[in-house]
């Protein structure tokens, strides 16, 4: 890829583009509150249904990720073929009904089935949203736009973990699920009745922006996977999310078990500290990526590498820190370790916006839905599917030796695959930018 990104006109990016971006971010945030709030439900669900950590990892991960993986590519195909805003409207409606069904579950099995239905509803959300954003903003402004979209879930963790912990403690975990479904009904109405799709590929001036030949689903996936830079970006994202989702889902329980906090205090700290730091880090990395990539394109890969190395160091310090208290905010004890947790959260999201932006530039506009779906499938399988479940398994295995501290070391071990992501990104950096030439997905 060339050392500097091409300059495109910034016209036609106005309030309609920003308004739709805000709506997409709100939908994504609501989806993620539904995922994050499970982290403060672990202990009451465990007590009510009498299940272990492995089962909790299953309900928060594999039950969701397995369905998502099966439906992800067909959903991405629909994104490339149907009006994306109408598809999102239908997805929001189904998500609302499925999330409310989680709150009505009478057994652990029914809860798992309801989570699988949530996965059905979410399968087109990320790919459709990122495909829309690529048509709303030109490449030199796209990283920051993507960071606004992806930062919404990190800020929403403040709601999911802090406010969610209060709701769960005061009204029960079932009421929290039912309340989450209400905003999605409004999003479905707005997307279905008031919003129109932007023109596909309107910012693409490169040859691969020409109409792409329509292939079968398997052939489409193979063509995408054959592009080495894209394949490495997808695998790097999957290895990264394996550890980051594990930390996100188990962090509240870690603070309860290893730092002696109450569920409400742990949820408050995890939500406010991690959500704020990750949100700021995501926005900052998107803004910085846009600025630096105008001078040298390699920053779209270099920034994620820097973020991974900094985040890994901070995470190790966080997980191995003693339970010393830094300060008290009223009755809320703040462990010293939360400083490292904030630093980890800030850097852990540096890969998202630059990597997604690079993917939108590597593939043809008519294949972006499928490309984003394939990337999301891998991240979902390894992140949501494997990460929390593997953490629960390792925690259970280590419990005879470490007792309630087993979760501390399980999280540390499950976070190590991010080093493989660094190696994959280093290979991508050399291939795309080492020789000053651009690589793109062929249209045919």
Helix (H, G, I), strand (E, B) or coil at 326: strand
Maximum C-alpha span of the chain = 63
Q: Are 174 and 45 in contact (CB under 8 A)?
A: no
Q: CB neighbours of 349 closer than 8 A, spacing ≥ 6? A: 150, 151, 154, 278, 281, 282, 285, 307
Domain boundaries, the chain: 17-200+216-433
Residue 442 has pLDDT above 50, yes or no: no
Q: Are 38 and 249 in contact (CB under 8 A)?
A: yes
pTM of the model: 0.79
104 or 7, higher pLDDT: 104
Q: Tokens 């989680």 appear where?
A: 102
pLDDT single digits (tens) 146-162: 999 988 877 776 766 66
Q: Are 378 and 65 in contact (CB under 8 A)?
A: no
CATH top-level class of 17-200+216-433: mainly alpha
pLDDT score, position 33: 84
Distance between CA atoms of residues 231 and 59, nearest Å: 29
70 or 284, higher pLDDT: 284
187 or 205, higher pLDDT: 187
pLDDT single digits (tens) 109-125: 888 888 889 989 998 99
pLDDT score, position 160: 65
Q: Averaged over 190-204, what is the pLDDT?
A: 85
User: Which among 262, 242, 258, 240 has a CA at the least distance from the CA of 391?
Assistant: 242
pLDDT range class, residue 5, cuts 50, 70, 90:
very low
pLDDT score, position 7: 46
- Sign (positive or negative) of CA dihedral 166, 172, 176, 179: negative
pLDDT single digits (tens) 204-240: 654 444 445 566 777 888 889 999 999 999 999 999 9
Residue 363, CA distances (Å) to 8, 54, 314, 436, 442 in order: 18, 39, 34, 19, 7
pLDDT score, position 271: 79
Distance between CA atoms of residues 34 and 24, nearest Å: 16
pLDDT single digits (tens) 349-374: 999 999 999 998 888 888 888 898 88
User: Which among 380, 88, 377, 379 has a CA at the least distance from the CA of 217?
Assistant: 377
User: Which among 124, 123, 119, 127 has a CA at the least distance from the CA of 146?
Assistant: 127
pLDDT score, position 206: 46
Burial class, 400, CB count within 10 angstroms (exposed 0-12 / middle 13-18 / buried 19+) = exposed
pLDDT score, position 205: 53
> Angle, nearest 10°, between helix axes 299-320 and 352-362?
150
Q: Averaged over 400-426, what is the pLDDT?
A: 95
Please count the helices (runs of H) and the strands (runs of E) in the chain. Answer: 21, 2
pLDDT score, position 211: 47
pLDDT score, position 302: 96
Q: Tokens 């062929």 appear where?
A: 442
């Amino acid at each position: 890829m060339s050392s500097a990104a091409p300059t495109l006109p910034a016209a036609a990016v106005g309030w309609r583009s920003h308004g739709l971006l805000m709506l997409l971010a709100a939908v994504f945030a609501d989806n993620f509150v539904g995922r994050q709030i499970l982290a403060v439900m672990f202990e009451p669900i465990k007590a009510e249904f009498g299940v272990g950590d492995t089962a909790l990892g299953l309900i928060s991960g594999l039950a969701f990720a397995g369905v998502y993986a099966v439906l992800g590519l067909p959903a991405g195909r629909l994104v490339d073929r149907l009006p994306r805003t109408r598809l999102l409207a239908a997805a929001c409606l189904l998500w609302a009904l499925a999330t409310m069904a989680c709150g009505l579950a009478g057994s652990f099995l029914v809860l798992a089935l309801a989570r699988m239905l949530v996965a059905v509803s979410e399968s087109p959300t990320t790919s459709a949203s990122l495909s829309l954003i690529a048509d709303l903003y030109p490449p030199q402004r796209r990283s920051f736009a993507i960071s606004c979209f992806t930062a919404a879930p990190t800020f929403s963790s403040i709601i999911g973990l802090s406010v969610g912990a209060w709701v769960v403690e005061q009204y029960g975990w079932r009421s929290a699920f039912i309340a989450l479904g209400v905003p999605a009904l409004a999003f479905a109405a707005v997307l279905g009745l008031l919003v129109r799709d932007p023109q596909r590929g309107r910012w693409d001036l490169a040859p691969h922006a020409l109409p792409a030949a329509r292939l079968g689903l398997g052939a489409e996936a193979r063509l995408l996977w054959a592009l080495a830079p894209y394949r490495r970006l997808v695998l790097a994202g999957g290895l990264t999310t394996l550890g980051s989702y594990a930390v996100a889902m188990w962090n509240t329980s870690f603070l309860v078990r290893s730092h002696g906090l109450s569920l409400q205090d742990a949820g408050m700290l995890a939500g406010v500290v991690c959500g704020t730091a990750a949100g700021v880090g995501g926005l900052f990395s998107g803004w910085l990526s846009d600025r630096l990539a105008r001078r040298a394109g390699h920053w779209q890969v270099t920034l994620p590498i820097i973020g991974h190395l900094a985040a890994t160091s901070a995470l190790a310090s966080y997980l191995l820190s003693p339970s010393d208290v830094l300060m008290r905010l009223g009755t809320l004890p703040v462990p010293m370790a939360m400083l490292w947790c904030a630093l980890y959260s800030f850097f852990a999201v540096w890969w998202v916006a630059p990597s997604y932006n690079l993917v939108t530039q590597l593939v043809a506009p008519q294949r972006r839905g499928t490309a984003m779906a394939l990337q999301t499938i891998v991240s979902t399988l390894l992140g949501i599917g494997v990460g929390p479940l593997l953490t629960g398994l390792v925690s259970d295995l280590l419990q005879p030796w470490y007792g309630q501290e087993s979760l501390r070391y399980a999280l540390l071990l499950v976070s190590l695959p991010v080093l493989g992501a660094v190696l994959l990104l280093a290979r991508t950096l050399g291939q795309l930018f080492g020789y000053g030439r651009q690589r793109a997905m062929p249209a045919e």
